[in-house]
Amino acid sequence: MESQSLGLFVAFSAGLLSFLSPCVLPLVPSYATFITGMSLDELADHELRARRTALVHGLLFVAGFTTVFMLLGASATFLGGMMRYATTWLERIGGVMLILFGAYLLGILRLPGAGREWRMHLADKPAGYLGTVLVGVTFGAGWTPCIGPVLGGILTLAATRSSMGEGMGLLAVYSAGLAIPFLLSTLLIQRFLSAFRRMRGWLPWINRISGAMLLVLGVLMLTGQFTLLTAQLARWTPEWLSTRL
């Protein structure tokens, strides 16, 4: 249970870092106007109708990419379950993959094909609410190189889970880390634009932080220390909190 809780914390943090990555954060205004069909001025309107439209389309967009990520999580757990007889080796291989992803984000390593963009594009948004869901599915099905290594790291972690429910839950939490700031940014678009102008210069550091997180997690998994860490954390966790995890 403690291992699962730590994994959920890592997944949410990874989702948040994915949102802050140079591949996603600058595109938030474009996605917001694309899925809602509204201009930035209309999105900034404080009228209830504008806010409701932005919220509904934002939630549908989130539902689209969350569905894709959860299915990927289920697939990763299923494939990992087929190798359950070699759990130790699976964890070590996963650790190596995480280290490679981390080294790539830190700029230490170049991975063949990682610089190519695999994201699918929609020239025009299909009409209606279903069209917004489709845009979310498209976003989830074809991520950019920046988000790919982080998502790949969480899928690697999902492959070590004991059930599909855990793997899907891990990716649902990852999606929440990506979705919550997206929805807030869409609803508060003027504040988002102001904050983005101030933090633009810090965006390259987001990749480095993501890489460092994956690198540390990979070393822990490779050396078998991940389980020991969760056991240590369990001893530090207050009893009233551990009973609710």
Q: Taking the CA atoms of the chain, what radius of gyration do you get in angstroms? A: 19
pLDDT higher than threshold 50 for residue 124: yes
In terms of pLDDT, which residue wins out, 4 or 222?
Answer: 222
Q: What's the whole-model pTM score?
A: 0.78
For residue 204, count other CB atoms closer than 10 A to its CB: 10
Output the six-digit token pair for 99.
Answer: 């280290």
Average per-residue pLDDT for the chain: 78
Residues counted in the chain: 245
- Which comes out higher in pLDDT, residue 168 or 85? 168
Place of tokens 């404080």: 46
From residue 22, how far is each of 123, 147, 205, 208, 241 by CA, in Å?
22, 9, 9, 11, 36
pLDDT for res 131: 86
Measure the CA dihedral 237/240/241/243, to 10°.
Answer: 100
- Chain Cα centroid distance, residue 127: 27
The answer to whether 157 and 217 have CB atoms below 8 angstroms apart is yes
Domain residue ranges of the chain, discontinuous segments joined by +: 2-242
